[in-house]
Chain A
Amino acid sequence: MIRFVKVFFREALNMLLLIIGVTALLYLLFNIMPGFFPGKGEGLFGYTQLLRKLFTFQFGTSIITGRDINGIVFPAFRNTIVLTVGSIFFSIVIAVPIGIFSAYRRFKTYSWPLVIFSYIMSTIPVFYLGYLVLYIVSRYTGVLPIYYPQGSGRGNPLLSFMLPILVLGFGNESISEIVRLISTELERVMHSDYAVASKARGESVLWSSVNEGIMIPLISIVFSKIPFIIGGAVIVEHVFNWPGMGRLAFQATLDRDLPLLIVITFLSVLCVRGGMLLKELALLYINPHEK
Chain B
Amino acid sequence: MKMRYKRFLSVLITVFLLSIPALLGAQTKGGSLIYGEYGAPIRLVPVLANDSISIRLIELIYGSLLYYNANGEEVGDLAEAWEVSKDLKTITFSLRKDVFWHPVPGEQGRRPFIADDVVKTFEIMMHPNTLTSLQSRYNFISSVQKIDDHTVVFTLRKPVLNVLGRFSFKIMPAFLLGRITSLRGDEDLLLYKHPVGTGPYIFVSQEGSSAEVVLKANDRYHLSSPYIEQVIMRPFADQNIITQTLLYGGIDLEVRVPPRDISEIQGDAQFELAPYSTLSYSFFGYNLRNPVLAIKEVRKAISYAINRQEMLNSFFEGKGQLISGPFAPGSWAYNLDVRSVPYSPGEANRLLDRAGFTERTKDGIRTRGSYKLQFQMVVPISKENETTKRVILAFQNYLRSVGIQIDIKWLEWKTWTENVFVKNDYDIIYADWLFDDSFDISSLFHSREIGPGRNNFCAYKNPEVDSLLDESRSTLDIEKKRTIYRKLHEILAEDVPYTYLWTLTNYAAYNRKLRRVEIHPTRFFTYVRDWYVLEEDQK
Contact = CB atoms under 8 A, between A and B. Distances in A.
A254 B42 CA distance: 10
B342 interface: no
Centre residue among B210, B236, B250 by max chain A CB count within 10 A: B210
Given A72-B209, A255-B42, A247 B237 contact: yes
A35 B208 contact: no
A185 interface: no
A256 B43 contact: no
A146 B185 contact: no
B97 interface: no
Nearest to A37: B186
Nearest to A35: B414
Interface stretch (B238-246, B258-266, B273-281, B309-317): B238-246
B268 interface: no
A65 interface: yes
A149 B412 CA distance: 31
Nearest to B234: A152
A139 B418 CA distance: 47
A68 B34 CA distance: 25
A217 interface: no
Contacts of B185: 63-64, 66
B209 A241 contact: no
Contacts of A73: 209
Given A64-B42, A64-B43, A79-B209, A238 B248 contact: no
Interface stretch (B107-115, B160-168, B188-196, B283-291): B188-196
A202 interface: no
Nearest to B187: A66
B210 A149 contact: yes
B250 A146 contact: yes
Contacts of A71: 208
Contacts of B363: none
B210 A243 contact: yes
Contacts of B237: 237-238, 241, 247, 250-251
B232 A66 contact: no
A260 to B, nearest CB: 11
Interface residues of B, number: 40
Contact of A146 (B192, B241, B412): B241
A67 interface: yes
A238 B34 CA distance: 20
A4 interface: no
Given A66-B189, A66-B192, A144 B209 contact: no
Contact of A152 (B34, B249, B412): B34
Contact of A66 (B40, B45, B412): B45
A274 interface: no
A110 interface: no
B207 interface: yes
Main secondary structure of the interface of B (DSSP, over half): loop
Contact of A148 (B193, B250, B413): B250
B346 to A, nearest CB: 43
Chain A interface size band reads: 35 or more
Nearest to A79: B209
A88 interface: no
A73 B209 CA distance: 7
A277 B214 CA distance: 40
B467 interface: no
Given A61-B188, A149-B207, A248-B209, A138 B244 contact: yes
B214 A151 contact: yes
B189 A76 contact: no
A38 B245 CA distance: 39
B330 interface: no
A241 B238 contact: yes
A53 interface: no
Given A75-B208, A243-B210, A154 B414 contact: no
A134 interface: yes
Interface string A19-53: 00000000000000011001000000000000000
A38 B187 CA distance: 12
Interface in A101-158: 131, 134, 138, 142-144, 146-149, 151-152, 154-155
Contacts of B207: 75, 149, 151, 243
B212 interface: yes
A134 B232 CA distance: 23
A244 interface: yes
Contacts of A247: 209, 237
B137 interface: no
B383 interface: yes
A149 B235 CA distance: 11
Contacts of B249: 143, 154-155
B39 interface: yes
A186 interface: no
Contacts of A72: 208-209
B376 interface: no
A239 interface: yes
A130 to B, nearest CB: 9
A75 B237 CA distance: 17
Contacts of A244: 209
Contact of A241 (B232, B241, B247): B241
A152 B192 CA distance: 23
Contacts of B245: 144, 146
A256 B192 contact: no
Centre residue among B185, B186, B193, B234 by max chain A CB count within 10 A: B186
A9 interface: no
B244 A256 contact: no
B415 interface: yes
26 contacts: A34-B415, A65-B42, A66-B45, A67-B193, A67-B206, A68-B193, A144-B244, A144-B250, A146-B241, A146-B245, A151-B212, A151-B214, A152-B34, A152-B212, A152-B214, A241-B236, A241-B237, A241-B241, A243-B207, A243-B209, A243-B211, A251-B211, A251-B237, A254-B413, A255-B42, A256-B412
Interface of B: 34, 39-43, 45, 185-186, 188-189, 192-193, 206-212, 214, 232, 234, 236-238, 240-241, 244-245, 247-250, 383, 412-415, 418
Closest 4 CB pairs of A and B: A66-B192, A243-B210, A76-B209, A144-B248
Interface of A: 34-35, 38, 61, 63-68, 71-76, 79, 131, 134, 138, 142-144, 146-149, 151-152, 154-155, 237-239, 241, 243-244, 247-248, 250-251, 254-256
Given A61-B192, A248-B209, 13 more contacts: A63-B185, A64-B43, A66-B45, A66-B186, A66-B193, A76-B209, A134-B241, A138-B248, A144-B241, A144-B245, A152-B214, A154-B34, A241-B210
